[in-house]
Structure 1
Amino acid sequence: MTIAQSNAPVPEPAQSAQPPQVSPSLTPGALYKQAMHPLEVVRSSMNNWSDSETAAFLVGVRMAKDACEQTPPENYSGQDLYDLARLCSLGQDWNAANTAATRYLDSRAEPFRTQAYALSINALMHLNGTDLAVTTANTMMENQPYDAEVAYAVRYLKDALEQKGSPEAVPLAENEHARIVKALEAGVALKAVHGDAVMSLGVLYESAMDLAFWQRYRHDDAAAAATVKDIDDALAKTPPASAENARRTDAVRAQYALLGQPLPALKTTPVAAPPKTKAKTAATQRAMQIGPDYGAATVLVLFPDWCPQCRKMMTALTEFGAANKDKPVYAYGLMFLEDPAGQDQAPDAAAVSHEQNLKEMEGTSTLLVDAKVAHSLGVLDFPLGIVLDHEGRVRYVGVLPDDAFNGNGYMEKVLGRMTGGVGAPGQK
């Protein structure tokens, strides 16, 4: 099934916008979290911070680094030693942070052992000590109760390994599998033994499903099927999920169901004229049409127009497609218009915002897609990347980091795994 581009004109922003997907069955608390989600997405990227926020953060980093350098870890014990590990981590003095965290662990102190493991793992990854970070995570799982702190630390490491293109993400997830399945069987949010961390069932399910996705990427379909069965059997033993958790689990299931299948037909309209490049590339000659020629691969990035880091990514995505035109690899942003709650109170302001966001996409390989269609694909967090092979079948689905299309970035690793090597010369 191909993705056809419509010849219809670009619709007026205020008319084409779709309201957010809000279910009346959600509790007020769940509705509040859903309403806050766009803000959380924006806040999650430092690229969106204001100059004053960035400056204040950098001042804090410098203060923490200076204090860390003047504070020998051998002078402290107990919580003071753990706090020193946190201080040095904030100061991005990764050697000192790992030293303090390791000394705290070696002292057998309580109650911040799991948090100290997490600080050590984070520091080791920044020091490119991948193997030692994985060993530390496995030791943490063997010696600490599998609680929310452990689950978040392992999830961070799994994601970091995957984005680095490390094959160690899969064995780490395999080691975690029995533990996370048991946590799902409990049918309640996973809480920290010491601390306030909580991982909802929906997020726990999403983290558990990482293994199945990665097994599919490695063409180990039998192992992936067994992983999914374990997870589904665990959920079957629990009461029906809340609407909030069901929303996330349904989105993950929708994404997983795409793997190996042709992407459902998408009607798209151009945001603006084709990208302006120094030379006519294959992308411009194809007049922004997705399929039926998918090249060696076709990369799609779905996002709402209110997502600033997603819009910023479109310049790098366009350059990435041009740099890989000889493969060829095609890359397109698929933006959908989505108004915040309260659109009826300020439709003019919403229209102006959409118009500004559309204008920002001029000169990039960005197309418009209907919001309802985007949500049907399981889009929940942004930007959501979908990669198609030469036949137009989905071979990858996942949220992309901000620098995914930079030189030697995550997308190169995804495509290299699929096609045997894709480069992006000239990328910064």
Structure 2
Amino acid sequence: MAKRAKSARSRRALVSWRGSHLFVKLSGTAMVLAACLGSGAWASGQQPAPPPESPSAPSALTPGELYKQAMHPLDVVRSSMDNWSDTEMSAFLVGVRMAKEACGQASPETYGGDDLYDLARLCSLGQDWNAANTAATRYLDSRAEPHRTQAFALSINALMHLNGADLAVQTAHSMMENQPFDAEAAYALRYLKEALEQAGDPSAAYLAQSEHAEIVKALQNGTALKAAHGEAVMSLGTLYESAMELAFWQRYRHRDADAATTANDIDEALAKGAALSAEDRLRIEAVRTQYALLGKPLPALKTTAVDEPPRLKGKTAAAQLSRSQPPAQIGPDFGAATVLVVFPDWCPQCRKMMKALTEFGAANKTTPIHAYGLMFLDDPAALDQTAEEKRAAHEQSLRDVQGTNTLVVDGKDARALGILDFPLGIVLDHEGKVRFVGVLPADAFSGNGYIGKVLVRMTGGAAASTPQAP
């Protein structure tokens, strides 16, 4: 019983690989860097002016890009530890325990060079954050190479876990002043920015502003950003997405003129580079689509209620569902605000979020704040399923969200919103205009979650009270 409880607590972490680091989303905290596990990545108001034309791109995806696209659903599912098997979770916990014990027996004073850096990684994996920060800081003080940027990242991560956001930001600024802006630095900065943003810390925008000149310069080079030491690579599409976070955050704070300038800088820099790959163009156009939604009414969406999931016998599950269930509508009453969460039915952590979303909406019904999940039925190319297996999978997904505020939306309409990563949150104001769009953390609807912070910020701090949560 104790083992099961411990496993459940550990499943609260959201894990993904970026650069040469393991990024972990711990429940109630922001997405931060937990352990460095070696090089290589694991494949995971005023309206803005129209962006300039992009460099021409190949008309078709390469086999490598098609492979990444096909594997994307698996990457999304594996990114949440809620979806790990008991065997995988047990193996992970064994590694964490071994690292913690070894870290506790080591003394940073007795190590130097690569060994000291490896100790910082070991202690991070063991979640001994004081020891990890001590080892990383000692490595930086020694002026050793070549892991300086990674050591900065480990220190930033440890400080965030120790609730030292101000010190983490100071460390990030020191990294930008003393290290080249490479893929390692870009990944560390991105996840610190997102950690601060999800915590409601305005330092996220200030940090992004400090990074702006460097990230624009990197985009001008027209090639993927590589690590000075190591194998980490940030694609142009991901680099563009990271750069545009500043423009989104400026729009959220009603600084539309600043946002227009930021977006123009980024698009002009991109236009100076070489031709984009189809994969990069896909991500860039998705970001532009989402940015263009801000300040405008949400495009019309055909939605269907899920009262009693039927047996799907038609060739197209979505079409069969729409014929057998009554239509549902978002608006024209948007309340004080309306929160939407868009996701494909194969995303288990997204389906799980629907219970919290429904409880959030019920807790705020007197405000009122409306909350709906928008699930679209999708067949991932990576799954080799028969027609019957696909229908069975869709039926199970529909059963999972039954009793929640979840509507089924047409997949074509959902993709027209520029959706690539999940779950995608969209917040509408009382007029039905989009005021926020972005990927949500797993605890977005918790008592002090990200959605509550988004709603308070959207009103300029004029809300009578922080939105309630279950």
- TM-score of the two chains, using structure 2 as the length reference: 0.82
Q: Give the counterpart of 2:241 among 188, 197, 206.
A: 206
Query: Does 1:409 pair with 2:449?
Result: yes
Return the alpha-carbon distance in structure 1 between the equivalents of residues 257 and 352 of structure 2: 39
Aligned to 2:49: none
Return the alpha-carbon distance in structure 2 between the equivalents of residues 196 and 135 of structure 1: 26
Contact 1:273/1:363 (8 A) holds in 2: no
Return the alpha-carbon distance in structure 1 between the equivalents of residues 452 and 116 of structure 2: 40
Identity among equivalent pairs (%): 73
CA-to-aligned-CA distance 1:157-180 (integer Å, 9 cap, x gap): 000000000000011000000000
Moved over 6 A (4+): none
Q: Give the counterpart of 1:184 among 197, 219, 238.
A: 219
CA-to-aligned-CA distance 1:321-369 (integer Å, 9 cap, x gap): 0011111100000000001227786100000000011011111000000
Q: Report the secondary structure of 2:430's partner residue.
A: coil
Q: What letter matches 2:368 in structure 1?
A: P
Return the alpha-carbon distance in structure 2 between the equivalents of residues 123 and 344 of structure 1: 41
Aligned to 2:395: 355
CA-to-aligned-CA distance 1:8-66 (integer Å, 9 cap, x gap): xxxxxxxxxxxxxxx98100000001001111111111111111111211111111111
Return the alpha-carbon distance in structure 2 between the equivalents of residues 129 and 211 of structure 1: 22
Query: Does 1:391 pair with 2:431?
Result: yes
Aligned to 2:83: 48
Aligned to 1:378: 418
Aligned to 2:303: 268
Contact 2:343/2:375 (8 A) holds in 1: yes
Return the alpha-carbon distance in structure 1 between the equivalents of residues 91 and 199 of structure 2: 29
Query: Does 1:302 pair with 2:342?
Result: yes
Aligned to 1:85: 120
Residues paired across the two proteins, number: 393
Query: Does 1:127 pair with 2:162?
Result: yes
Question: 1:214-293 counterparts in 2 under 5 A?
Answer: 214-272=249-307, 289-293=329-333
Contact 1:288/1:365 (8 A) holds in 2: no
Q: Give the counterpart of 2:66 among 7, 27, 31.
A: 31
Aligned to 2:139: 104
CA RMSD of aligned residues (A): 1.6
Q: Report the secondary structure of 1:196's partner residue.
A: coil
Shift of 1:192: 0.1
Return the alpha-carbon distance in structure 1 between the equivalents of residues 108 and 365 of structure 2: 53
Q: Report the secondary structure of 1:25's partner residue.
A: coil
Return the alpha-carbon distance in structure 2 between the equivalents of residues 183 and 127 of structure 1: 32
Q: Give the counterpart of 2:99 among 29, 42, 64.
A: 64
Aligned to 1:166: 201
Return the alpha-carbon distance in structure 1 between the equivalents of residues 188 and 384 of structure 2: 42
Aligned to 2:351: 311
Q: Report the secondary structure of 1:157's partner residue.
A: helix
Are the structure 2 counterparts of residues 203 and 99 from structure 1 closer, same or farther at C-alpha, using a change threshold of 3 Å? same
Aligned to 2:406: 366
Aligned to 2:228: 193
Return the alpha-carbon distance in structure 1 between the equivalents of residues 428 and 386 of structure 2: 39
Are the structure 2 counterparts of residues 343 and 115 from structure 1 closer, same or farther at C-alpha, using a change threshold of 3 Å? closer
Shift of 1:406: 1.0
Are the structure 2 counterparts of residues 344 and 164 from structure 1 closer, same or farther at C-alpha, using a change threshold of 3 Å? closer
Aligned to 2:180: 145
Q: Report the secondary structure of 2:365's partner residue.
A: coil
Shift of 1:156: 0.6
Contact 2:77/2:349 (8 A) holds in 1: yes
Return the alpha-carbon distance in structure 1 between the equivalents of residues 290 and 61 of structure 2: 22
Contact 2:455/2:467 (8 A) holds in 1: no
Contact 2:377/2:394 (8 A) holds in 1: yes
Aligned to 1:9: none
Return the alpha-carbon distance in structure 2 between the equivalents of residues 343 and 52 of structure 1: 22
Are the structure 2 counterparts of residues 404 and 288 from structure 1 closer, same or farther at C-alpha, using a change threshold of 3 Å? farther
Contact 2:71/2:382 (8 A) holds in 1: no
Q: What letter matches 1:52 in structure 2?
A: T
Q: Report the secondary structure of 2:298's partner residue.
A: coil
CA-to-aligned-CA distance 1:270-312 (integer Å, 9 cap, x gap): 12269xxxxxxxxxxxx96421111110000000000000000
Return the alpha-carbon distance in structure 1 between the equivalents of residues 359 and 207 of structure 2: 34
Q: Report the secondary structure of 2:140's partner residue.
A: helix
Q: What letter matches 2:78 in structure 1?
A: R
Contact 1:324/1:423 (8 A) holds in 2: no
Return the alpha-carbon distance in structure 1 between the equivalents of residues 308 and 130 of structure 2: 50
CA-to-aligned-CA distance 1:377-421 (integer Å, 9 cap, x gap): 000000000000000000000000011111101111111111334
Unaligned runs of 5+ in 1: 1-22, 275-286
Return the alpha-carbon distance in structure 2 between the equivalents of residues 109 and 340 of structure 1: 46
Query: Does 1:136 pair with 2:171?
Result: yes
Q: What letter matches 2:73 in structure 1?
A: P
Q: Report the secondary structure of 1:303's partner residue.
A: strand
CA-to-aligned-CA distance 1:47-91 (integer Å, 9 cap, x gap): 111111112111111111111111011110000000000000000
Query: Does 1:331 pair with 2:366?
Result: no
Contact 1:272/1:361 (8 A) holds in 2: no
Return the alpha-carbon distance in structure 1 between the equivalents of residues 271 and 381 of structure 2: 35
Q: What letter matches 1:383 in structure 2?
A: P
Return the alpha-carbon distance in structure 1 between the equivalents of residues 176 and 383 of structure 2: 47
Contact 1:190/1:200 (8 A) holds in 2: yes
Return the alpha-carbon distance in structure 1 between the equivalents of residues 144 and 328 of structure 2: 60
Return the alpha-carbon distance in structure 2 between the equivalents of residues 248 and 85 of structure 1: 34
- TM-score of the two chains, using structure 1 as the length reference: 0.90
Q: Give the counterpart of 1:95 among 108, 115, 130.
A: 130
Q: What letter matches 1:61 in structure 2?
A: V
Unaligned runs of 5+ in 2: 1-57, 310-326
Query: Does 1:116 pair with 2:151?
Result: yes
Contact 2:428/2:435 (8 A) holds in 1: yes
Aligned to 2:36: none
Q: What letter matches 1:73 in structure 2?
A: P
Contact 2:304/2:328 (8 A) holds in 1: no
Aligned to 1:19: none
